[in-house]
Chain A
Amino acid sequence: MNLLRPSQLMSQTDLEIVVEDPTAPEHDSPSVVISGTVEIVVCLLLLALAATLGYDNWRTGISWDSTGPEPGYFPFYLSTILGGGSLYGLIVALLARRAASETFVTRAQARRVLAVFVPTLLFCLVTQFLGLYVASLLLIASFMRLVGKIALWKSLLTAFLFTAIMFVTFDIAFDVIMPKGPLEAAFGY
């Protein structure tokens, strides 16, 4: 595509930076869920949370003793406010449901969000068992290769370099110790 370029005025802006997105979501992808529905679900969840926390604080004690308000006093009233807010939100969302049907996420978008969410979830799981640095290596290399369709050697090299820099910066230079697994143990860390 040829952009307008009256750039003879200033030669240094001639260069263009173009980044293509091979896996861009289509614009006409069907909607998976509308915002109204999500809002109702969120309000219900918050209402349940408010009820649970409210009950727990009531059990802890919401009245006054000789030293002043009991520990549950402040949070109990906050749970009430949260409950009230979510109830109001629920009613508003239910009333508006018929009129508005704004898309929360389309199918193509949902697929892309999952394409980053699922690897992140797996990354956390691997971190738990194999340590953060191994997980980081696996995440970056596989994400670049599988989602970004970037050449394997580039993916591996980037993943290795980034992980190595992180290790040197945090574990060695700044003494911020990360969770480690059997691999690091084999190297004596």
Chain B
Amino acid sequence: MEAFGLLVHGFAVLLTWKTLVLMMVGLVLGIFVGVLPGLGGPNGVAILLPLTFTMDPTSAIVMLSCIYWGALFGGAITSILFNIPGEAWSVATTFDGYPMAQQGRAAEALTAAFTSSFIGSLVAVLLITFLAPMISSFALKFGPPEFFAVYLLTFCSFVGLGREAKHKTVISMSLGLLLAGVGMDTVSGQLRMTFGTAELLRGISFLVAVIGLFGISEILLTMEERLALRGHAASISLRVVLGVWKDLPKYWVTLLRSSFIGCWLGITPGGAIAASFMGYNLAKRFAKDPESFGKGRIEGVFAPETAAHASGTAALLPMLALGIPGSGTAAILLGGLMVWGLNPGPLLFVEHKDFVWGLIASMYLGNVVGLVLVLTTVPIFASILRVPFAAVAPMIVVSCAIGAYAIQNAMFDIWLMLGFGVVGYVFKKIGIPLAPLTLALVLGNRAEDAFRLSMIGAGGDLKVFWSNGLVGSITTLAIVLLFWPVLDRLLGHLTWARR
């Protein structure tokens, strides 16, 4: 068990006072971010990223990933107590969580949510611990064609499997890839798409785009709706916690099923949102009395929360092993990696053992500490919602501006952030998904480099993407996924005709 030894080493890296304090700070900030309207996982991490610029990479990633776990935990608080999902992935938690709170079982629902979050992430972290090193050592054999094929697979699966209108996903993705190309060309050093402006020489920073697209646009969207809210305050007693935990074994099928769904959708770019709904729907379908769902059934909280957290955590697996993020937040963490001077990809496991295993160890510890923290501090965090939005909104705007400026010390980036805010607002309202844009922005240059390097190696022959079994099957799979909706319909027709 090589992974086990390395994990122990990771814990040794982690167990210093400084890292532990950063972990707590990260968790608290994360829960804050998860609870506040107008802030969420991706933009919270993006805004707080500048805090880590001067840290060493291991402390930085520990703090950032703890912000992420905290945000995942925090989303459940508002869903259950206020019927307001703080995050899109906690929408399914409101279905049964809020009715439970109305029946006076808020503490029970919260305990269920936090516990299942913990279980979901734990399963995903176990998966990462044992699978990520294997995948990365396998990927060490990859050359540029293989990498391009994997990038292509990521992009195509977004288009083929996404729920949005296909042309909108294509628009979003090509726009992201184009914006990634602005500035100096990494291969030839020539300038592209700068139109003679000095400000665009640096290129468009992916983080600035994220802060605008998610942070500023979210403020505009939140403001547009009514801000009045009414909900329950709750505190959790030890008796309730133990009561819920005692019943846990009864729901092992639900928990296990949701964990698997979450892990699968986290690794493929399905994401936590899809996972939480799927977890909920499957729990309902397999239940003996499906009509009791939606009326305050504890399984209706277990199922979506486990899946959402498993997925949120599993999204870090492809990021660590291949340098391909499985979610928006993972994409930002990847952006952080580059800022700290690390080169994401399979070599990470070889060259930066401390970093990788410190991160994995912090996933274990962060989730345990996070669970205890949320169980004990729920009333404090719930009362944050008493703070009027008119005070929160300008503070978020200022934090966004600080985050955007700090990345390259450029005033231009603050204006760029504002521009992206407007784009994000309009795109969200007309249904153009933002996740493909983010992913394309962060992967754009690497995908292009991989493509050009393979083309140079093969003398411009596209057949290089089918030159061996591995790259050929990945490329073919990518194309199949791209046209999946069409193929699916075609297959449906065929089987129907045969009948």
Q: Which of B53, B393, B425 has the most CB of A within 10 A?
A: B393
Find out whether the CB atom of B167 lies under 8 angstroms from the CB atom of A123: no
Find out whether the CB atom of B405 lies under 8 angstroms from the CB atom of A121: no
Given contacts A12-B235, A18-B230, contact A71 B388 (CB under 8 A): no
Q: 8 Å CB contacts to A: which residues of B8-32? A: none
Find out whether the CB atom of B190 lies under 8 angstroms from the CB atom of A6: no
Chain A interface, DSSP helix/strand/loop, else mixed: helix
Nearest opposing residue in chain A for B231, CB measure: A17
The distance from the CB of B128 to the nearest CB of chain A, in whole angstroms, is 29
Find out whether the CB atom of B223 lies under 8 angstroms from the CB atom of A53: no
The distance from the CB of A85 to the nearest CB of chain B, in whole angstroms, is 4
Complex Cα gap A109–B233 (Å): 30
Given contacts A42-B426, A139-B394, contact A75 B181 (CB under 8 A): yes
The distance from the CB of B307 to the nearest CB of chain A, in whole angstroms, is 26
The distance from the CB of B32 to the nearest CB of chain A, in whole angstroms, is 14
Q: Which residues of the partner chain A approach B497 to less than 8 Å between Cβ atoms?
A: none
Stretch from B130-138, B271-279, B406-414 at the A interface: B406-414
Stretch from B262-270, B353-361, B452-460, B487-495 at the A interface: B452-460
Q: Residue B415 at the A interface, CB < 8 A?
A: yes
The distance from the CB of B28 to the nearest CB of chain A, in whole angstroms, is 14
Q: Residue A186 at the B interface, CB < 8 A?
A: no
Interface size on A, residues (CB 8 A): 89
Find out whether the CB atom of A124 lies under 8 angstroms from the CB atom of B237: no
Interface string of A142-168 (1 = CB under 8 A from B): 011001111000010010001100100
Q: 8 Å CB contacts to B: which residues of A16-45? A: 16-21, 24-25, 35, 38-39, 42
Q: Residue B198 at the A interface, CB < 8 A?
A: no
Find out whether the CB atom of B390 lies under 8 angstroms from the CB atom of A105: no
Q: Which residues of the partner chain A approach B197 to less than 8 Å between Cβ atoms?
A: none
Q: Which residues of the partner chain B approach A64 to less than 8 Å between Cβ atoms?
A: 460
Find out whether the CB atom of B460 lies under 8 angstroms from the CB atom of A147: no
The distance from the CB of B151 to the nearest CB of chain A, in whole angstroms, is 12
Q: Residue B174 at the A interface, CB < 8 A?
A: yes
Q: Residue B195 at the A interface, CB < 8 A?
A: yes
Q: Which of A12, A57, A175 has the most CB of B within 10 A?
A: A12
Complex Cα gap A85–B159 (Å): 12
Interface string of B102-113 (1 = CB under 8 A from A): 111111100000
Q: Residue A113 at the B interface, CB < 8 A?
A: yes
The distance from the CB of B334 to the nearest CB of chain A, in whole angstroms, is 21
Find out whether the CB atom of A16 lies under 8 angstroms from the CB atom of B54: no
Complex Cα gap A175–B50 (Å): 10
Given contacts A16-B231, A82-B175, A139-B394, contact A115 B223 (CB under 8 A): yes
The distance from the CB of A95 to the nearest CB of chain B, in whole angstroms, is 13
Q: Which residues of the partner chain A approach B195 to less than 8 Å between Cβ atoms?
A: 56
Q: Residue B141 at the A interface, CB < 8 A?
A: no
Find out whether the CB atom of A128 lies under 8 angstroms from the CB atom of B411: yes
Q: Which residues of the partner chain A approach B253 to less than 8 Å between Cβ atoms?
A: none
Q: Which of A75, A86, A115 has the most CB of B within 10 A?
A: A75
Find out whether the CB atom of B415 lies under 8 angstroms from the CB atom of A124: yes
Q: 8 Å CB contacts to A: which residues of B389-434? A: 389-391, 393-395, 397-399, 401-402, 405-406, 409, 411, 414-415, 418, 421-422, 425-427, 429-430, 432
Q: Which residues of the partner chain B approach A19 to less than 8 Å between Cβ atoms?
A: 227-230, 385-386, 388
Find out whether the CB atom of B103 lies under 8 angstroms from the CB atom of A6: yes
Q: Residue B82 at the A interface, CB < 8 A?
A: yes
Find out whether the CB atom of B106 lies under 8 angstroms from the CB atom of A13: yes
Q: Which residues of the partner chain B approach A60 to less than 8 Å between Cβ atoms?
A: 190, 192
Q: Residue B382 at the A interface, CB < 8 A?
A: yes
Please name 27 pairs of A and B residues whose Cβ atoms are closer than 8 Å in the assembled complex, sorted by A.
A9-B105, A13-B107, A17-B82, A17-B383, A24-B226, A25-B224, A38-B430, A39-B430, A56-B195, A70-B188, A74-B448, A82-B178, A84-B170, A85-B168, A88-B167, A113-B224, A124-B414, A124-B418, A139-B397, A140-B398, A147-B390, A148-B390, A150-B388, A166-B399, A169-B51, A170-B50, A176-B50
Identify 10 new A-B residue pairs, CB closer than 8 A, beyond the known A35-B430, A116-B220, A120-B421: A10-B104, A19-B228, A68-B456, A74-B181, A112-B223, A116-B397, A140-B398, A170-B50, A175-B54, A179-B411
Q: 8 tightest CB-CB pairs across the interface, nearest first?
A: A148-B390, A7-B104, A15-B233, A68-B456, A21-B228, A82-B174, A71-B185, A85-B171
- Please give the residue numbers on chain A whose beta carbons come within 8 Å of chain B beta carbons, in ascending order: 1, 3-10, 12-13, 15-21, 24-25, 35, 38-39, 42, 46, 49, 53, 56-57, 60, 64, 67-75, 78-79, 81-82, 84-86, 88-89, 92, 104-105, 109, 112-113, 115-117, 119-121, 123-124, 127-128, 132, 135-136, 139-140, 143-144, 147-150, 155, 158, 162-163, 166, 169-170, 174-179
